[in-house]
Each structure stands twice: as structure tokens, then as C-alpha cells.
Structure 1
Amino acid sequence: MDEAAFIAALRALAPDPAARGLDDDVAVIALGGEHLILTHDMMVEGVHWLPGQDPADVAWKLVATNLSDLAAKGAQPLGVLLGYGLGGGEERFLVGLGEALLAFAVPLLGGDTVRRAGAAAHGLTALGRATCLPVPTRGGARPGDALWVTGMLGDAMLGFEALRDARSDRDTTRFARPVPRLAEGQALAPLVGAMMDVSDGLLLDATRMALASGVTLAIDSAACPVPADLPATRRRDALAWGDDYELLFTLPAGQAPPCPATCIGHAQPAGAAPLLLDGAGPQGRLGYQHQQ
């Protein structure tokens, strides 16, 4: 069973409104006068990080990727719970974990440890509180909205390749130690129609937003912000690679965002394809998906 089929089957087991149909990367629980935001991500050696990569970077990225889901909801982090598989590299992992907790001002609240066999795998649950209501979703884009993205797309891809090839000619930080857009998410949350983070590739995540919103999103590839040294022939690769952890969001036409961002397209009434790239349905790989 591949990832999409498994998640589809899980939806039957998650009817509670807090689960948001398992379509939104987070759960939202009303608690008194507050709304609690919960998310959980796992990382596996050889899938999310390279064998032999510094465990301090693994710990940082585990925290950052979960906080990125909170950022896409405009949430303020409250704490994290760690699930860790013992099996080597613990000293360096603890260094990176401490650095991430300090950098993002988020406390470790608990978790669990096991002795693993085989490839390393770790999980983290992040908890936050909503800073505005309604909490943004993927499903709020409307025809006529402008589509925006923060930051740069493709830096993580180039950083991964340099790290994989043991090259020192490029900064690998954007892959090894991404920074969640927490401040930007909180500033955008009261204004956006739809918002999510770009983790699996711009094209795949934009398709998910379009399907959730019931619109077609039209993207201009030339407008997408990419590194200056990215070869022109690799622009399409950068839009489908992922690990960017930028925020993808919609705003009403003519409204400027309160943080640095680039307008890369617009929403239009739903058509034959949920996503258009330069006027046509994109062919080939859209992003990263876990297969059998």
C-alpha cells in the first residue's frame, strides 16, 4: 500500500473534526478559549537524511520540520515530544536538539525512547496555540486569489547534492538545517485564504492546495524564486524536489503580504487539472511521495 492509499484508509478512522480530514498536516482542538494545534512528523535514515550525516543536523531538522507545520497555521509553538530510536549518534543528536530548542524558543516536554534495529528512525510531535481564528487551512483558496511563496525554492536541493557528493563549494544549510517561517506564518494567518508549507515540492503541494480548495492553481515557472546559480535546465527540478519549508499561500488579488514573498501565480475556477504550469497540466514528477 502506498502513502496515498494508506492515508485514504486512515480517513475512515479519523472522523473527529479536529483531524481536519487528515488533509491539513495538523489537528486543531478547541480547548476552552484556546485552539491547540498538534502535528507529528517522522524522519528515516536514507530517506530524510543521508547515511553518515551529522546527527546534530538530523535533530535540528526533526524539530524544524514539525515547527514548519505549525508556522503554516500561524501557530505559536508550546513544546515538543520526542520519539527516539537508540542505536548510535546520541551525543551529537543531543547537541543539535539543544541548539534547535534554543533557536526556536521551544521546550522539550517529554517523549519516548526505544532500542532500534536497522535504519535509524525518529519522530517528533509539536504542540502550538492558534494566534488567530479561523486557523488557516489548505482549502481556503478562491478564484481570483494571487498565489505567493516565501523565500527561495531549490536551495535545499542544491545543498543536498553538495552534501551527497562531499562538495564544499555550496552552503548546505538550507537542506541540513532549515528554518521554519514562524514569524511569517503568524503575520500571514489573519490575511490568507489558504496556507501550507512546501515540504514535498512546490508542484505537489500546490496540487494538494488546489484539490482541497476546489480550484485550479496556475503557476508561472519563470516567476518562481530560485537560486541565482541554479542552471536554467534545472528550474523544473527545483519546483518538484521539496525540503524547502517555505510558506505557500493565497491572498485576494491586489493585496500585498506583510512579509517578503513572491507572487508566482493565481487561482482560477476548477478546470480539467488542479494545477497548471505555464498554462498546461504539468507532466512527470510533481514532488516527493512515499511509495511501496
Structure 2
Amino acid sequence: MTSHARPGEDSLIARFFAPLAAPGGLGLKDDAACLSPTPGHDLVLTTDALVETVHFLPGDPPGAVARKALGVNVSDLAAKGADPAGFLLSLALPADWTEAWLTEFAAGLGRAARDFSCPLLGGDTVKAKGALTLSVTALGEVPAGRMVHRSTAQVGDAICVTGTIGDGALGLLLRRSPAWAESLSLDERAFLADRYLNPQPRHRLAPALRTYARAAMDVSDGLAGDLAKMLRVSRVSGVVAADRVPLSPAARKAVEAQPDLIDRVLTGGDDYEILCTVPESNLDRFVKEADSVGINLSVIGHVVPGHETPVFRMKDFERRYDVGSFSHF
């Protein structure tokens, strides 16, 4: 029987990743990339690491793992009003990696890079002694002085969020075959599962954010916790009409089947939507700009004076989520 040795590091990079590289990546043949920022622009940088069993599961499709790794970083750029410029990838492969896995991973990474207009510039590939680990550092550009901060919300601003909330958290819960899943159609279950596996960063909203928003961040660790973080560093508080938080038809049906799921919807992570505060004078134009790029925008509350955790109000309850957002430590 003939055995086939797996490619070494140089041939692995040349085969799987060099075809994805932007010109600034120099064909991944050098020790560094070379990127010239657009004149009159600031660079915005962000990085996120994903670890198997923490951020994704061993059976997740390799292409989805790649898309998530890049998508969560592009989502951070979008929340700052930055347009993607490129990314660096560090990949630590466990001893049992296969060429088939890496082929699917690279294909998914290439599709995500094209979808998000964020090309590969370089990185590193190493052998891991433990779980598969990957880290992406994404670079974006924003006109000088125009980055949208999370610490600048002001009393009277409208609190807005893109897309729908809670789908990713419910998509992860589906893997446990919960009773409420029986109330969903196969298409609705597939929708929630896909929202967990394949985040959709709202990068097309970046120009409107830097024009109209006062403060912003992406919703990665749960709406309630991330809103609390943004308002806390802005030294204000907020009131949210919980029934205005946008839910997909699938999430709404799940909550109808099990009403206490609303807490998971409001506190669960993996939404990768944009949470922002907008002056009332800018609101109509911001909504129109979002609609023009196919992004639904919902006004869910207002910034108010105070230092308390934001309150979520509905007809039959008023709640402050003191647990906060997800933390690794």
C-alpha cells in the first residue's frame, strides 16, 4: 500500500492559501504583507480567536468555521464604520488534520473573503498540541477621525439594532433537540442552525454608521449584555421595549412555544448584528440608508440618564439582565 505524506508548511500555504491572497500579501512568499492605506484614512484593527469546542464544535462544516472566523472580525469593523481592507490568519492545526478538511476550510474562507470584500494578506500556520485554534486579525479603513466609538452614546439617542436577534443562540440550542423545536418546521430549524454557523456581518452599513450613528458595537455576546457594556462606558443607561426587539419568524415561533426562551434570545450570543445609538435628528435618514443596502433596522429603545443596567420592558414584565454578556473568564 502506498502512503502519501501530507504537505509541509510551505507547500500547504502555497496550495491552500496563496490563491486567496490579495496583492498586498505578496503571494504569501514573504515574511510580511505590505498595505498602503488610502490617503486621508485611519486604519481600524480587530482580532478574534476561535477555539474548537468553545466557539465551534468538531463536527461543524470546515467552510462554516472559516466563514465564522472571518465574519466575526468583519462584524467588529462594520460596527466601527470601517470598510474591510484585508485580514491575517493564524491557524493551529491538530495532529489529526486532513487535506479534505483543509480544502473545504480554504474554499469557505475564499467565499467569505469575497462576500465581505476582505482579502487575505498573510498569516501563519502551525501544529497544535491541543484543539484546533484559529485567529483572524482584520484591518479596515475609515475616513480620518470618523471611527464610531462605543463610549459616545448620549441621553436622548435612539437605540437601534440591525437584522434579527436570538437566532444564533437558538440555533446552538437546537443541537440538544429541545422540546420547543417540535413546533418549528424543517425550514425554520435550518434557518436557525444556519444563523449560528454562518454569521452575516453588516459591513454594507459602515458608511451610514459613520455618518449618522453616535455610538456602536456589534452584538456578539448577547444583546442585553452588549448594550449594558456600551451604555456603561458611555456613563448613561437605557430603556428597551422588549417587544420591539426584532425576531425572525422562526425565533418568534420558538418563543411562543416556550415563553421563557425570550431570556435566551435577549442574552444569547452569536447574533453579529450592529447595535447603535442614533440622534433623533439623524434617525429617518439612517433608516433609509440601511434600507437602501438591504439591511433591516429596528428602533428598540432610548438612552436615558443614570448608571443602572438597561431595563427591558414588555406588557407583562420589566427586567434588568444583571448576568451580563458572555465572558471567557
TM-score when normalising by structure 1: 0.83
The structure where helix makes up a greater share of residues is 2
- Amino acid of the residue matched to residue 323 of structure 2? R
SS for the counterpart of 2:280 is coil
Partner of 1:290: 328
- After TM superposition, give the deviation of residue 164 of structure 1 in Å: 5.5
Shift of 1:159: 2.0
C-alpha deviation, 1:43, in angstroms: 0.5
1:66 to 73, 91, 116: 73
2:83–2:206 Cα contact (<8 Å) kept = no
Answer yes or no: is 1:190 the counterpart of 2:211: yes
Cα distance change of structure 1 residues 56 and 268 upon mapping to structure 2, 3 Å threshold: same
**Structure 1 residues 100 and 144 mapped into 2: Cα distance closer, same or farther (>3 Å)?**
same
After TM superposition, the structure 1 stretch with the greater mean CA deviation from structure 2, 119-128 or 92-101, is 92-101
| Equivalent residue pairs, number | 261
Q: Which amino acid aligns with 2:77?
A: L
Match of 2:30 in 1: none
CA distance in 2 between partners of 1:163 and 1:61 (Å): 18
- Stretch of structure 1 that moved more, 35-44 or 166-175: 166-175
* 1:215–1:274 Cα contact (<8 Å) kept: no
Counterpart residue number, 1:49: 56
Q: Secondary structure of 1:77's match?
A: strand
Q: CA deviation at 1:113?
A: 1.1
Gaps of 5+ in 1: 1-29
The DSSP-based 3-state class of the residue aligned with 2:190 is: coil
Structure index of larger Rg: 2
Structure 2 equivalent of residue 231 of structure 1: 255
Which consecutive segments of 4 or more residues in structure 1 shift more than 4 A? 163-168
Query: Are the counterparts in 1 of residues 309 and 321 from structure 2 also a CA contact under 8 Å?
Result: no
Deviation string, structure 1 residues 128-154 (Cα, Å, up to 9, x no partner): 110463311001111111101010001
**Pick from 119, 127, 131: which aligns with 2:139?**
127
Aligned pair in 2 of structure 1 residues 186, 230: CA closer, same or farther (>3 Å)? farther
Query: What TM-score do you get using the length of structure 2 for normalisation?
Result: 0.74
Query: 2:169 aligns to what SS in structure 1?
Result: helix
Deviation at 1:33, TM superposition (A): 2.8
1:247 corresponds to 2:283: no
Instruction: Specify the code of the residue in structure 2 equivalent to 1:245.
Output: Y
Check whether the contact 1:70–1:182 (CA below 8 A) recurs between aligned residues: yes
Give per-residue Cα distances to partners, 1:2-36, cap 9 Å, x unaligned: xxxxxxxxxxxxxxxxxxxxxxxxxxxx9963200
CA-CA distance at 1:119 after TM superposition: 1.3
CA distance in 1, matches of 2:177, 2:92: 27
Work out which of the residue numbers 300, 309, 312 in structure 2 matches 1:274: 309
List alignment gaps of at least 5 residues for structure 2.
1-36, 291-295
Are the equivalent residues in 1 in contact too, given 2:309–2:322 (CA < 8 A)?
no
Q: For residue 87 of structure 2, give the secondary structure of its aligned residue in structure 1.
A: strand
Note the C-alpha offset of 1:76: 1.1
Counterpart contact for 2:77–2:203, Cα < 8 Å = yes
1:173 is aligned to 2:209: no
Deviation of the 1:79 alpha carbon: 0.6
Q: Give the Cα separation in 2 of the matches to 1:65 and 1:128.
A: 13
Q: What is the CA RMSD across the aligned residues, in angstroms? A: 2.2
Code of the residue aligned with 2:303 in structure 1: it is A
Q: What's the % identity of the aligned pairs?
A: 37
What is the DSSP-based 3-state SS (H/G/I as helix, E as strand, rest coil) of the residue aligned with 2:264? helix
For the pair 1:83 / 2:90, whether they are aligned, the reply is yes
